[in-house]
Amino acid sequence: MSTSTPPRIWTSTLTPKKGEMVRVRAQISHRMETGLRLDGHGQIKPRDIVTRFEARLGEGLLYSWEPGPATARNPYIEFTFLARESGELRLSWKGDGDFTLEATRTITVQ
């Protein structure tokens, strides 16, 4: 399952100088249901959480995160990396129920 709401992505710069620190902030719309709560009829709501986040520049892994059931709704993530080479910054989220979401930005090192 994939959401129709695109992720919100902010980068401090898309054209950093070599060696410059680049800050990336990202947030997605996701309910992050733990599977531990009951609905109005006393039935357990099915678990539906994001289980993996990865940020890659080209083929290189910049950052990975495995959120758990205690993560808040609409997860927000922020990380930094040193600009060493140009490439496609690819952010991907995966989760329960075949949930997948991707976003890309092109980073051009000056």
What is the pLDDT confidence band of residue 4, given thresholds at 50, 70 and 90?
Answer: low
Determine how β-strand 50-57 pairs with β-strand 21-27: unpaired
| pLDDT at residue 80 in the model | 98
CA–CA distance, 15 with 12 (Å, rounded to integer): 9
State mean pLDDT over 34-44: 96
* 83 half-sphere exposure, CB direction, 13 A CA radius: 22
pLDDT tens digits, residue range 51-62? 999 999 999 999
State mean pLDDT over 80-93: 98
Residue carrying the six token digits 């949930």: 99
Task: List the domains of the chain with CATH numbers.
Answer: 8-107 (2.60.40.10)
Mean pLDDT, the chain, rounded, equals 96
Tell me the percentage of the chain whose pLDDT exceeds 90.
95
**CA 74 to chain CA mean position, Å:** 10
Predicted model pTM: 0.91
| pLDDT at residue 3 in the model | 59
State mean pLDDT over 12-21: 99
